[in-house]
Structure 1
Amino acid sequence: MGLFGFLLVLHILSSIAFIGPAFVTPIIRRSARTVGQLHFVLGITAKLAIMPKIGGTGLILTGVGLMIITKMGLSQMWLNVSILLALLMVGLIDGWIEPRMKKIRKTISERQDQSNDIPAEFGLQLKKIVPIEMAAMLLMIAVLVLMVVKPF
């Protein structure tokens, strides 16, 4: 396996590290039924948040390396569109979802009673995040399709 194959494998592994937690986190979060469970789940998802940062860095480095090796640069439309969609996805996650989740985590950690049902106010805050999470997931799927199919 040459340099191209090595970079391609690292690129694919980086995309799994980048995208995987974003698909799993909402499912894990929705499983919480009590304040204690929600506190635990939010702690786990906060720890999972490092994976997209590592994966994103790997994606950028390996992607640039692949573009240099193939002498492709930014000449392909599918590549430009996928980079744009990925940046939009990162903006949604880091700029919209994460600040709201940090606020919820802080409020949950301040609660003394960890055994009762999740108050309606938290449920409402979490439900407001769901459409943005769905949009981010759809963007991830679009980027993956563009990277695999390379339609234009």
Structure 2
Amino acid sequence: MITLYKVIVFIHIFSAILGMGPGFILTTVVKSGKNMTELRHSYRLRHKLHIFVMVGGTLLLITGIAMGLLNPSLFRMGWYVTSLILFLAALAIGPLVLSPRSRPVKALLKSHKGEVIPEEYWRLAKVLFRYEYLENLIFIIIIALMILKPF
């Protein structure tokens, strides 16, 4: 018989695949633009992929906490608590770090005339991507903790 806990684990795993998977390629998608038209298109694609990341991330948090509520012993497991703290930190990076650094990029994409990508974009993108890579590293650590359950 399938228990509620197993259903939540199932949703949690699929949320990770559908939400985190696209998150790992968001930076790669926009690096493919060779001119302003392609770059703008890449950012539109990135925005659509980001919707999967937001929905998947929300479901991950809800199902992760639900598993802890159904199995309170998880709150005494170091890997679970560490994963939860890292996930909340990664969520905070979005509005506190990534959003302020993406606004100038979006403004530049909207206002720039011509097809040549300006040097200013590369400077802004480099800083933005550095934080996105940090967030991806956090998610890789979380995935490793979930699989290995080392402590």
User: TM over 0.5, yes or no?
Assistant: yes
- Match for 1:146: what amino acid? L
Once structures 1 and 2 are overlaid, which stretch shifts more, 26-35 or 98-107? 98-107
Once structures 1 and 2 are overlaid, which stretch shifts more, 43-52 or 118-127? 43-52
- Count of aligned residue pairs for this structure pair: 150
Give the Cα separation in 2 of the matches to 1:51 and 1:95. 20
Percent of paired sites with the same residue: 25
User: Could you tell me how far 1:73 is from its partner in structure 2?
Assistant: 4.7
Determine the structure 1 residue equivalent to 2:135.
136
User: Could you tell me how far 1:94 is from its partner in structure 2?
Assistant: 3.0
Gap runs ≥5 in structure 2: none
- Cα deviation, 1:15-73, whole Å, max 9, x if unaligned, reads 22332222111010111110111111111112222222211221122112212222325
Superposition RMSD in Å: 1.6
Once structures 1 and 2 are overlaid, which stretch shifts more, 117-126 or 64-73? 64-73
Give the Cα separation in 2 of the matches to 1:18 and 1:87. 15
- Match for 1:127: what amino acid? K
Q: Does residue 1:34 correspond to 2:35, yes or no?
A: yes
Any runs of at least 4 consecutive aligned residues in structure 1 with deviations exceeding 4 A, and if so which?
none
Once structures 1 and 2 are overlaid, which stretch shifts more, 93-102 or 119-128? 93-102
Determine the structure 2 residue equivalent to 1:119.
118
**So what's the TM-score if we normalise by structure 2?**
0.89
Determine the structure 1 residue equivalent to 2:14.
13
Q: Does residue 1:106 correspond to 2:107, yes or no?
A: yes
Determine the structure 1 residue equivalent to 2:97.
96
User: Could you tell me how far 1:135 is from its partner in structure 2?
Assistant: 1.1
